[in-house]
Structure 1
């Protein structure tokens, strides 16, 4: 079966996949939840975006993984998309979970809905990091009160440099075998850049009727989709 290297989005560590892991293992897969530098148990470590790309590549190489499925949720789709082209023939597929996708020379902040300057001002006002969202801001995303409490309780500030440093790509993401999972409570249509990539014959779209954090709200269904993505169903 496949080896799943799973990277959660902003503020979260490898712990966020704890309900998905047993489902994938029951299906026969290897699971490798990864905490990026500067987050969760690695909090306090300085990290730019390329640090996060190296975190992912180094984990694959350290464990000598083959048939790798890289999974990037939210922010982490950006470093995962870059790592995917750097691990060569170890890669089986990329799964983007309601995530951003990298564009060469652009950053997470570049696509901020209020503009990059506004986002950088937010970081500057918080000592250079991105403060986790509140429980109130999690409302409407298909999460129970218990799931929201777990999310908020485990979240840590996200290193700002990883959000402003530009991506580095040498070829189009459209060339990668990819599944994009769109969580409908967080908007019913993919962003324009994702919609363009979905025109590729190597990309597929799967929708989930839940919010932006399906590893909390629907872990079994998320695992089923991830398993199906590499089995061709």
Structure 2
């Protein structure tokens, strides 16, 4: 199965470099999605541009792919479910929840000169970054790509109710499945509260398991893909 890998804020497609070989060895076709404005110098990129890149990857897949969104990019994966509900085997959301219709994509951090730079480790102290040592933090910060303002402040538009029929797996790194269930039940993710096929998977990691536990993440994603393949066969 094609597994489309979408990185969150400040990540380019190379964020998945340590996940890709393991997924391929497990019999899947991993496709890291290059997002406009995150690694290609397209400072004027918009959320619509990133959505279009994800949909192009979906449309290029020979069968029904699993779409994986990390952190804020959980919304991009969900936008794919909204735009192509009949074309997806499922979505997997790593450490994030999709923004609802009418909400800004990722208006969380200050904009500087038309982009959102990596804000440093202060906002992520605690479970998010506990498994990143000093060297890993330095590498991450050095490679971080500022996110164009047009992406971060882009307004999410969801139109097709059939998205709620797409199977969703919430991958829980810095929080537990029980916590995620409680948050969704409390109304903190109105989109996932309406998902009709919702599952949870745990992984013992911080917010960036593609960096700290790439092999475990690859095995988990392969297992999710195998389950979805059985559903669509």
What is the TM-score with the length of structure 1 in the denominator? Answer: 0.83
Q: Which of the numbers 94, 97, 112 marks the counterpart of 1:97?
A: 94
- The change in CA–CA distance for 1:199 and 1:102 in structure 2 (over 3 A counts) is closer
- Aligned residue in 1 for 2:231: none
* Aligned positions of 1:139-150 closer than 5 A: 139-140=125-126, 141=129, 142-150=131-139
Unaligned runs of at least 5 residues, structure 1: 113-118
1:8-39 C-alpha deviation (Å, 9 max, x unpaired) = 00011110000100110010000110121111
Query: How far does residue 45 in structure 1 lie from its aligned partner after superposition?
Result: 3.9
Give, in whole Å, the separation in 2 of the partners of 1:196 and 1:51.
22
Structure 1 position 93, deviation (Å) = 1.0
Report matched runs for 1:159-170 at 5 Å.
159-170=148-159
| Matched positions, count | 219
Distance 1:185 1:170, change over 3 A: closer
Secondary structure of the structure 2 residue equivalent to 1:204:
strand
Alpha-carbon distance in 1 for matches of 2:158, 2:70:
19
Q: How far, CA to CA, are the matches of 1:14 and 1:207 in structure 2? A: 24
1:6 corresponding residue in structure 2 = 5
Query: 2:202 matched to which residue of 1?
Result: 207
TM-aligned CA distance change 1:84 to 1:14, over 3 Å: same
Please say if residues 95 and 171 of structure 2, whose CA atoms lie closer than 8 Å, have aligned partners that are also in contact. Answer: yes
CA-based RMSD: 2.5
Provide the C-alpha distance between the structure 2 equivalents of 1:65 and 1:21, rounded to a whole number of angstroms. Answer: 18
- Does the C-alpha gap of structure 1 residues 19 and 224 become closer, same or farther in structure 2, counting only changes over 3 Å? same
In the TM superposition, what is the alpha-carbon distance from 1:202 to its structure 2 partner? 0.6
Deviation at 1:177, TM superposition (A): 0.6
Measure, in 1, the Cα distance between the counterparts of 2:96 and 2:118: 17
Deviations 1:113-152 (A, max 9, x none): xxxxxx5xx21xx112111132566554211333223312
CA drift at 1:203: 0.9
Match of 2:224 in 1: 229
Q: Which residue of the partner structure matches residue 81 of structure 1? A: 78
Does residue 218 in structure 1 map to residue 213 in structure 2? yes
CA contact (8 A) 1:65 1:90 kept: no
Please name the residue that 1:115 is paired with: none
Residues 4, 31 of structure 2: 8 Å contact kept: yes
Corresponding residue SS for 1:221: helix
SS at match of 2:156: coil
| Counterpart secondary structure, 2:179 | coil
2:117 corresponding residue in structure 1 = 131
Q: 1:146 to 1:68 in 2, by over 3 A?
A: same
1:206 alignment partner, SS class: strand
Structure 1 residues 223 and 85: CA distance shift in structure 2, 3 A: same
Q: Tell me which residue corresponds to 2:166.
A: 176
Partner residue of 1:66?
63
TM-score (norm 2): 0.83
